[in-house]
């Protein structure tokens, strides 16, 4: 090919890409949520959708793809085209836990994704059905030690934050409980609220509405202080476990190779949305705190979280396959 023609074609391709990035988005964007409807991740994704459509003129379509400890939906996102039109609701489960629990999760959390923004953080809360008699951490420990293996705890699936949070809880307290995994927090919470399952340690965003509604009783919350909107729920430290800690977070990642110009547009838009007063207030009511940081900040945060939870998983010798 004539060198001049080759240069001209390259220049046209660059100009076409630049125009495409400048106009992004020109069609609906799919947000894969690796959880079923009903949990905190799903609720937060549905907070974003109408605001995104309102400002961009394009739909943010929620695509729930639960299963296999969040790896099904996350792997699907990893295989998507890196054009900005598929993104994923990432979390401590998708990017810090599952890749170290499964021998073949179907993706690499660092190599297969591009960080967009950290949406929000949230503590985790140990809860029981309001119909059960347990009111403190020590009540649960005492009941479990009196009948080892009789009480059970629910999770949103093997390798999810509720699973690991409860595994660490049982390890630190020396108690024996039966793990009952579900396909997401939504179904798990239904059985905890009914009293069929004794407890769950789930994100504050998932359980706070049910605590306020009187269907769940908050026993203890992670972190160094009580959550302002749940002042009656003590910390784990107050419950006699000062060394217990776990927290969760919600973020957005795009497939690897997504152009940095498009990542920047997604970052600016989504970080703006979570800081809107009405969205921040809705997040606060779910006991989540808006963040909206940069891609670089999210990348560093994910690496730190992976290191932290990797040590926990290794020390407990946990595998789910």
Cα separation, 162 vs 159, in Å, equals 8
* Residue that the structure tokens 């997401």 belong to: 184
Using one digit for the tens of pLDDT, what is the confidence trace for 269-316?
999 999 999 999 999 888 889 999 999 999 999 999 999 899 889 988
**pTM as predicted:** 0.81
Q: Is the pLDDT of residue 11 over 70?
A: no
With tokens 């990893």, the residue in question is 78
- How many Å apart are CA 28 and CA 57, to the nearest integer? 9
Mean pLDDT (whole number) for 123-148:
96
Question: In which band, very low, low, confident or very high, does the pLDDT at 14 lie, cut at 50, 70 and 90?
Answer: very low
Q: Tokens in use for 226?
A: 């009580």
**In terms of CATH architecture, what is 123-221?**
3-Layer(aba) Sandwich (3.40)
Domain boundaries, the chain: 3-122+248-316, 123-221
Please tell me the predicted confidence (pLDDT) of residue 13: 42
Q: Average pLDDT, stretch 205-232?
A: 92
Reading phi first (left if > 0) and then psi (alpha if -120 to 50, else beta), residue 105 is in: alpha
Give the per-residue pLDDT at 40: 85
- pLDDT for 285 equals 86
**What average pLDDT does this structure show over 226-254?**
93
| Cα atoms in the Cβ-side hemisphere of radius 13 Å centred on 6 | 3
* β-pair partners for 247: 123
pLDDT at 15 > cutoff 70: no
**Do 3-122+248-316 and 123-221 share a fold?**
yes
Domain boundaries 3-122+248-316, corresponding CATH code: 3.40.190.150
Tokens of 319: 């595998």
């Amino acid at each position: 090919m004539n060198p001049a023609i080759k240069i001209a074609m390259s220049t046209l391709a660059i100009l076409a890409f630049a125009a495409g990035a400048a106009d992004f988005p020109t069609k609906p964007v799919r947000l894969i949520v690796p959880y079923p409807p009903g949990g905190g991740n799903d609720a937060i994704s549905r907070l974003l959708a109408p605001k995104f459509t309102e400002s961009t003129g394009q739909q943010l379509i929620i695509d729930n793809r639960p299963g296999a400890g969040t790896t099904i939906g996350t792997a699907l996102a990893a295989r998507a085209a890196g054009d900005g039109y598929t993104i994923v609701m990432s979390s401590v489960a998708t990017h810090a836990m599952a890749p170290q629990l499964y021998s073949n999760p179907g993706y690499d959390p660092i190599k297969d994704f591009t960080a967009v923004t950290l949406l929000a953080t949230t503590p985790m809360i140990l809860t029981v059905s309001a119909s059960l008699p347990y009111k403190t951490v020590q009540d649960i420990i005492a009941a479990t030690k009196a009948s080892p293996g009789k009480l059970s705890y629910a999770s949103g699936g093997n390798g999810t934050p509720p699973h690991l949070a409860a595994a660490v809880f049982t390890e630190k307290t020396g108690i024996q409980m039966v793990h009952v995994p579900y396909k997401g927090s939504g179904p798990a919470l239904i059985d905890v609220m009914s009293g069929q399952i004794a407890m769950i340690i789930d994100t504050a965003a998932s359980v706070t509405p049910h605590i306020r509604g009187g269907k769940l009783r908050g026993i203890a919350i992670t972190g160094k202080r009580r959550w302002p909107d749940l002042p009656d729920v003590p910390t784990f430290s107050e419950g006699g476990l000062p060394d217990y800690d776990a927290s969760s977070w919600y973020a957005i990642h795009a497939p690897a190779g997504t152009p940095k110009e498009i990542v920047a547009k997604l970052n600016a838009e989504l970080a703006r949305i979570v800081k809107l007063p009405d969205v921040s207030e809705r997040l606060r009511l779910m006991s989540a705190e808006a963040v909206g940081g940069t891609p670089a900040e999210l990348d560093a945060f994910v690496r730190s979280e992976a290191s932290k939870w990797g040590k926990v998983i290794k020390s407990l010798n946990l595998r789910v396959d």
